Structure 1
């Protein structure tokens, strides 16, 4: 048991270090390519920091652990959304959702709610599958791709603009144009870190499965509160690092984009799970975490629209709501 826990701690440490390095690279790539912090944070950084979680869910599904695969995905979405509230505490000048106003992040938040609603429909609907894959799993990546296109178009030709205030932080080049590192080297370093994340995810999946078998703790609880939190550590590190750099749109976009990408875990897990539809092999505990993630995303979306300047403890009411909801969910799952 001690070796299992040490292995998980080692993997967590590697993920933390890699995530910190990824933030700086993503910010430089955003400045160099002109794609912007919100889009790079939502697509590139969000997907890259989620890679270890992808491997955990797919590996668990291949081993027939449907609950672990599902709860790792949706539990990570809840945990990562709570990280934004912690980042809000770090940015003392104004509420983070106010200062990081960006249409791309609003668009992706609404997209995330749509993507999370589809597994609910699959769970409550008839048990159908094509080659042991539910049709919803095939729709998810299509909607995700369409969402990326819509996000890019909304940035290039926005039909809506947030009101600029003294606290609003613009997407700027923090390097001041002094970075002369070749762009291909930035992408190469980013790719190598992604590979490390993937290897760590494989190790975590094996260790978590062994821990579940030895302790008898439910796979849903292990997935939502252990593997999901460990594989979400890059999002915590990259979000806090981005806020310290003043790249607020990158911080917000990285979390929202990472959560949106995490819904694709379900597609890969359903493909890897060969005993039928993944959505009809899970239980109420897994759906509880899906509902938690949806509720927290709804609060976040409302917070971005309302854009409160200051709230309790210098953070927005949405941050208080997200932290309270997540803490309550953890308490109910662990002790209920």
Structure 2
């Protein structure tokens, strides 16, 4: 997205204090955008802010602290963004994580689903009128290329044995369902919505504990020279944010600057609508969904 003195573009990036998110923000800041960084940890967010300001010279960077797994925190975040910015041309839902064991959010929802799908779903909806008022605008959801299917009868993993990668895969599939349904709903509004797989790159997904942490330690130790950096992966995301040829392109799944096929379930319009309606209820945008998620006192 280009900028000018009269109409500076404003972007918001979640998961911005390290890795892919930090690389995305650095590139946007270097291009002169006003950027909001969302970080779960204030100290790490402030450190990233200082690093990016020093690297780019861009002082128009703003830190927001929020835990995307906690819907109360997401609502505070959305209001803070609205208070700070009078327009929002680019929203990049980048934050994502995995959990070695099943754990629940403050609203009683399995944490991978809460963080990776419901957090961005709620944040985007709460900012949607601001984004539409800033059109032309773009929403970019960072996804994962995993062939999976959502179990609509057990989204919270109450019945099935929980596994880190199974929970992660289901939650990230939600990004595709969300992308395709939101794109359908925003047709003709001047806002495009696309999902991108940034490729395999050096990441701290899920932290250093658990099976995935051990996997990455071994992979980086013995083959780290061949694994792309976060800066390389960021270019795939930035293509969706910047490319002039993508003006008006919406409801697509990209990798390496070209469209790729989505898992079969995400191509089912009825499944997309169903998850949207469940997500509305789970986030309080409509009536609560019985049996899934209980707000803690």
| Alignment TM-score, normalising by the size of structure 1 | 0.28
Q: Which has the higher contact order (CA 8 A, sep 6+)?
A: 1
Structure number with the higher strand fraction is 2
> Rg larger in 1 or in 2?
1
